[in-house]
Amino acid sequence: MTIPQTCFFRDSYKRLTSRSTNFKDVSFYYGRIEMEFLDSHCHLDDEKFDIDREKVIPEIYNAGITTFVNCGYSLHGSLRAIELSKKYDYIYATVGISPNDLSTNWSKDVENIDEILKKEGTIQDNKIFQKEGAIQVEKVLQKGITKQNKKILQKDQVIQIDEVLKKETLKQNKEVAQKKIITQDKELLQGKEIIDNGEISQAKENEVRKAKIVAVGEIGLDYHYDTDKEWQKQAFIKQIEIANKYNLPITIHTRDAVMDTLEILKQNPVNKKGIFHCCPFNRELIKEGLKLGFYISVAGPITFKNSKNAEEIANLIPLDRLLIETDSPYLAPEPVRGTRNDPRNVKYTAQKIADFKNISIEEIAKATYQNALKIYNIQVC
């Protein structure tokens, strides 16, 4: 998918983030054009945002982070992620049970993730839905709407077919009109009308299926704590199966479990691959993950002064497989380490990687935006 440059840079004079710190100053302007960023993994549904979520989210967008993926980690967190994705056009969701959120009833929770996907649909369903909608619109237009009517239909946003029928209609058109009123122009119909038994039916905006679930995750293994390892492995494998069932990538959480994580991925291939989120600085994991076709997502720890091999790790990741994230509200980068993190701080991570790779932050912003749109199958233009 070729993404126009306008998806990554935008005319603006309003927004400029500056901080007085010892950290290298980051200019987020490219001449008169401001860079745009995509935070590939955050948790804006977290309780730490309860006091000001409605205020903060628009501020994040206006700061140039124009798309972000809110990731589920529990059953409740997955549902909250979906709610946010429905409320904001620029937020997408993932659903899954993380290894740190497994309970004795984990099997039922995983089944519920399957049920959520079945009920809510996925971004893949949107594309099928829109394609079928376009086909049905063509069928309606080909069945008998005259050339003049077709021009009117494409020109006006909302047309009552009865009005069209007064201007050169065929009997067949009238029969179609009597069944359902066709509203909005052809372009809008393709994206916003519900197809019911081969017919076009009118729908209010809030009734139209707009699924924005882009992955199963975060899922994986975490041996740092004492959650049962067998539960973790079984839940990981089961959720990979769910991702394959719905034709989705996965977002992986792995800590102190590199070899088992890689072994499960090799034994249980993920059809749409996925992302190693907040990837540990482990050479073997990154090398093998790349071989398996996965993307590597880098978060705030790459800016930490005690990240000994950060530069080496940054240079192990090819630009076309790199993502950036905040994992907010956690892991705030330098120079704001220790504060509540939010997607605005993804810019500091981008700048640090640019420094390590000896390229511009503009290149990092553009590449990581493209990469995230590709792996998550998001279309924003």
CB within 8 A of 310, min separation 6: which ones? 281, 301, 302, 303, 304, 352, 356
- Looking at residue 380, its pLDDT comes to 75
Quickly count: other Cβ atoms within 10 Å of residue 179's Cβ: 12
Q: Encode pLDDT of 279-318 as tens digits.
A: 999 999 999 999 999 999 999 999 999 988 999 999 999 9
Last residue of a domain, one of 207, 225, 244: 207
The structure tokens listed for 225 are: 């704590």
DSSP-based three-state secondary structure for 301:
helix
Q: Is the dihedral of CA 8, 10, 15, 21 positive or negative?
A: positive
- Looking at residue 211, its pLDDT comes to 78
Residue 8: closest CA among 371, 315, 276: 371
- Looking at residue 173, its pLDDT comes to 46
- Looking at residue 132, its pLDDT comes to 52
CA–CA gap between residue 188 and residue 205 (Å, rounded): 11
- Looking at residue 123, its pLDDT comes to 78
- Looking at residue 101, its pLDDT comes to 94
Same domain membership, residue 263 and residue 176: no
- Looking at residue 375, its pLDDT comes to 98
Please check whether residue 101 lies inside any domain of the structure.
Answer: yes
The predicted model scores a pTM of: 0.74
Same domain membership, residue 346 and residue 215: yes
Please check whether residue 247 lies inside any domain of the structure.
Answer: yes
- Looking at residue 131, its pLDDT comes to 52
Same domain membership, residue 170 and residue 43: no
CA 263 vs. chain centroid, Å, equals 27
Q: Are 315 and 357 in contact (CB under 8 A)?
A: yes
Please check whether residue 381 lies inside any domain of the structure.
Answer: no
Buried-exposed string 134-151: b where 16+ CB fall within 10 A, e elsewhere: bebbeebbeeebeeebee
Please check whether residue 344 lies inside any domain of the structure.
Answer: yes
The structure tokens listed for 342 are: 């939010």
- Looking at residue 122, its pLDDT comes to 84
Last residue of a domain, one of 146, 174, 207: 207
Same domain membership, residue 215 and residue 249: yes
Q: Using only the alpha carbons of the chain, give its radius of gyration.
A: 23
Please check whether residue 235 lies inside any domain of the structure.
Answer: yes
Please check whether residue 2 lies inside any domain of the structure.
Answer: no
- Looking at residue 76, its pLDDT comes to 95
Query: What is the count of structural domains for the chain?
Result: 2
Same domain membership, residue 217 and residue 307: yes
Q: Is the dihedral of CA 332, 337, 338, 344 positive or negative?
A: negative
Residue 189: Cβ-neighbour burial (10 angstroms; 0-12, 13-18, 19+):
buried
Which range of residues forms the domain containing residue 290?
A: 7-16+23-122+211-376
DSSP code per residue over 182-250: --S-HHHHHHH-EEETTEEE---GGGS----EEEEEEEEEE-SS-S-HHHHHHHHHHHHHHHHHTT--E
CA–CA gap between residue 374 and residue 370 (Å, rounded): 6
Same domain membership, residue 132 and residue 280: no
The terminus-to-terminus CA distance of the chain in angstroms comes to: 11
- Looking at residue 265, its pLDDT comes to 98
Same domain membership, residue 290 and residue 265: yes
Check which CATH number belongs to the domain holding 94 and give it: 3.20.20.140
Same domain membership, residue 245 and residue 203: no
Last residue of a domain, one of 192, 207, 222: 207
Please check whether residue 303 lies inside any domain of the structure.
Answer: yes
Same domain membership, residue 133 and residue 44: no
Please check whether residue 155 lies inside any domain of the structure.
Answer: yes
Secondary structure E strands in the chain = 9-11, 29-30, 33-35, 37-42, 65-71, 91-95, 194-196, 199-201, 213-222, 250-255, 274-276, 295-298, 322-324
Q: Which ranges of the chain have pLDDT less than 70?
A: 1-34, 126-210, 381
Same domain membership, residue 359 and residue 296: yes
Long-range contacts for 55-60 (Cβ within 8 Å, ≥24 apart)?
A: 56/342, 57/84, 57/88, 57/91, 59/344, 60/342, 60/343, 60/344
Same domain membership, residue 219 and residue 360: yes
Same domain membership, residue 174 and residue 133: yes
